[in-house]
Structures are given as C-alpha cells and as structure tokens.
C-alpha cells in the first residue's frame, strides 16, 4: 500500500488556519503526517487537528523537509518569501494569498472549474483565488458553460472577517458601544461620535453603516479587491478579454461574502434553464423562492461549504443577461476549503504515482 503524503499548514494558528484544521478533521483522510507551522511566537502552542493534539512548529526551511504539500494561509509577503523555500525543499506549495495569483507560471485553481490546471505548475506553486472571487465564480462558471459568458457587472457585500480577527473584534466593539441608542443613524455624524476613533482596519465605522471600499487604492480610483475580481475571473475561466466591472462594499456582517451579479452571455438565456444548470452544479446550493421568503443570505451560508445562489431573473432590457445573488462563507470555500480541495487533488496525484 502506498504511503500517504505528508501535509504542512503554514499559518495554522490564524483565522483561516483554524478553519483548515477543522476541515482536515471532517474531510476524507488522504494525509499521513500533518505538520502545523506558524511564526516563532506561536511555536509550541498546540492545536487539535484530525483528532490529534499537534504542536505548532516555527516557520523555518527545515520544517518543510519531508513534506509533500504545503498549504500557506499567511499574508502575501510571507507567502512570497516562503513558498519558494518550501518548493526548494521538495514540496508543492498551495498558496491562499495574492502573492502568486497574477503570475503566468502559477495556475489559479478552483477544483469545480479547472482541476486539470494543478498539473500545470512549473514553479511548483498553485494559487488560491480571492475569497470574493471564489464565492461568485463557482456559480458563474456553470452558466458560462451553458451560455458563453461575455461580461460581468458585480457589486460585492463583504464581511468584516475578510480583514481577519481584528475586523470581527472591531465590529463587535462598535456594536457594544451603540447598543440601545435608537437615535443613532438619524443625524449626520452621530454614529461616528458614538463609535469614536477606534476604526480598526476600516476607513469608517462599520456599525449601522456600509463602506464602499475594500482593499487598497490602485490606479484610476479602483481598489485592489475590485481588480482581483476582474483579473482572477479572467484567469480561472480562461477568458482573457472578459469585461468585468466591480464595486466592492464592506458590510456589518461577521462572516459571509455576497455578490450581486449582472452577467451578459453570448446567447439568449432563460431563468429556469439557469436554475437547472445551477441546481446540478458542484459546490452550489440553489435557494431561490422569493414568494416563500427564501433567498441566499450569509446568516444561512456561514459554516457551510457551497456557494448559495438565488434571486435569478432574466434582465428586462437584454435577453442575453441574467441577474442573480450569491453568498458563501469567506473563511471556508473562500479560503480554507478551496485550498484543501487543491491539496487533495495533489494527494491523489502523488498516490497514483506511488502505485
């Protein structure tokens, strides 16, 4: 019997890394040894993973010796430095940051859409898409296969957990400060005054507010999050000329990114045909009964793996266009789950080669 491959998780004590350990404990076991790796200040801590209490190792080059697959759940600069080191020690790196997504020699993989790309890894690195892109693209891809996608106009509603635990803590702290004051939000500036100067990672208060900004400033007034939706959708779908326009908005939701999608196709579309395509699509759950008050919402999608899709209707102005709403857990499919699925494809490849 072939030996099961060894897996390492870098960033194991962070928000996504914690979800990753939960996933490894609940999904089919395809791994032999699992190593948890984090910064030196986290080394020595213990975490439960796959029913075992594992001790966290410090991030060093030697920590990758004997490892087959490394999943990186760390900031861009850490991945950029350490993913090539992992590869040099003999591992394949699956990176959840933005460090390698635009690299032509690094595939951007969503297993429900382009699993064959895992073998196209000349640098030994495979990239995971942005969490908002992943929520949306799993639902858009089946419609592209059915009708031929030409254009996307997107508005995102992104949860505060997309900025990490500090974003979640900031929202809860602000909600605690304003609880019970029913005057707030009725006059200019009174929410800002109540919340105070502690805005955390956000440019404005999140409580009782939406902030039309996510990411960092880029040319032309676009944000980095908006450009990720464009560039990553093009790469994943293999449509380099796809027209994409996005507006990213941060909303006072703890977990669950949502996207309102206006999609234009090459042929005439049918709302019921779209529902049927999505009903049978992997990684998608259809929730589309407005008359019964059934819509895809982050309070239902949180803690689940699929992208939840609904509000499907054909445009009243263009028979080639559909409007729909998608939501999903940004810490699961939007980050940890997609990374784990890619790693599982690699595990199957290694096991097949060992037979």
User: Mean pLDDT across the chain, nearest whole number?
Assistant: 95
**Options 21, 49, 131, 248, the catalytic residue:** 131
Q: Identify whether the C-beta of residue 134 lies closer than 8 Å to the C-beta of residue 109.
A: no
60-95 residue pLDDT tens: 999 999 999 999 999 999 999 999 999 999 999 999
Tokens representing 73 are: 């759940």
Q: Give percent of the chain above pLDDT 70.
A: 99
Strand partners, 126: 94
User: pLDDT grade, residue 355 (50/70/90)?
Assistant: confident
pLDDT of 2: 62
Look at the pTM and tell me if it is higher than 0.85.
yes
Active site residue 262: no
Annotation-wise, does 98 bind a ligand?
no
Question: What pLDDT is stored for residue 354 in this prediction?
Answer: 82
Task: Please give the CATH number for the structural domain made up of 133-330.
Answer: 3.30.360.10
Active-site residue, selected from the candidate residues 21, 49, 248, 257: 257
Please report which confidence band the pLDDT of residue 221 belongs to, taking 50, 70 and 90 as the band edges: very high
The verdict on whether residue 304 carries a ligand-binding annotation is: no
Alpha helices in 316-355 (DSSP H): 337-354
Average pLDDT, integer, range 180-208:
93
Q: Which of 109, 37, 97, 4 is nearest to 341 (CA)?
A: 109
Sequence ranges of the chain with CATH classification 3.40.50.720: 7-128+335-354
The ranges of the chain annotated as CATH 3.30.360.10 are 133-330
81 is in an annotated binding site: no
pLDDT, one tens digit per residue, over 242-290 is: 999 999 999 999 999 999 999 999 999 999 999 999 999 999 999 999 9
pLDDT tens across 17-48, in order? 888 888 998 898 899 999 999 999 999 999 99
- 13 assigned ligand-binding residue: yes
Three-class SS of residue 153?
strand
Q: Classify 7-128+335-354 by CATH class.
A: alpha beta
Q: Say whether 144 is catalytic.
A: no
80 is in an annotated binding site: no
CA 310 to chain centre: 19
- Give CA separation, 338 vs 40, 109, 111, 215, 329, in Å: 27, 8, 7, 21, 11
């Amino acid at each position: 019997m072939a030996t099961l491959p060894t897996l390492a998780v870098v960033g194991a004590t962070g928000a996504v890394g914690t979800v990753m350990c939960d996933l490894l404990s609940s999904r089919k076991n395809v791994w032999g040894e699992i190593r948890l790796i984090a910064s030196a200040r986290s080394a020595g801590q213990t975490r439960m993973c796959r029913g075992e209490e594992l001790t966290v190792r410090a991030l060093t080059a030697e920590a990758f010796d004997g490892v087959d697959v490394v999943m990186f759940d760390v900031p861009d600069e850490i991945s950029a430095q350490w993913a090539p080191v992992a590869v040099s020690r003999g591992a394949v790196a699956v990176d959840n940051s933005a460090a390698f997504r635009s690299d032509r020699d690094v595939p951007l993989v969503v297993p429900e859409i382009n699993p064959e790309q895992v073998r196209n890894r000349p640098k030994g690195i495979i990239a995971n898409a942005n969490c908002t892109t992943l929520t949306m693209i799993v639902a858009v891809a089946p419609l592209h296969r059915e009708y031929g996608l030409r254009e996307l106009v997107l508005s995102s509603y992104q949860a505060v957990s997309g900025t990490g635990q500090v974003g979640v803590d900031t929202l809860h702290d602000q909600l605690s400060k304003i609880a019970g004051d029913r005057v707030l939000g009725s006059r200019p500036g009174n929410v800002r005054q109540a919340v105070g100067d502690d805005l955390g990672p956000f440019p404005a208060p999140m409580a009782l507010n939406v902030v039309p900004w996510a990411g960092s400033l880029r040319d032309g007034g676009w944000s980095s999050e908006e450009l990720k939706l464009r560039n990553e959708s093009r790469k994943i779908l293999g449509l380099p000329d796809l027209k994409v326009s996005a507006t990213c908005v941060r909303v006072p939701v703890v977990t669950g990114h949502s996207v309102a999608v206006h999609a234009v196709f090459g042929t005439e579309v049918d709302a019921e045909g779209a529902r049927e395509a999505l009903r049978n699509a992997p990684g998608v759950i259809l929730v589309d009964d407005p008359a019964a008050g059934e819509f895809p919402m982050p309070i239902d999608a949180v803690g689940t793996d699929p992208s939840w899709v609904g509000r499907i209707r054909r445009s009243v102005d263009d028979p080639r266009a559909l409007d729909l709403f998608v939501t999903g857990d940004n810490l699961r499919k939007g980050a940890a789950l997609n990374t784990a699925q890619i790693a599982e494809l690699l595990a199957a490849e290694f096991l097949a080669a060992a037979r």
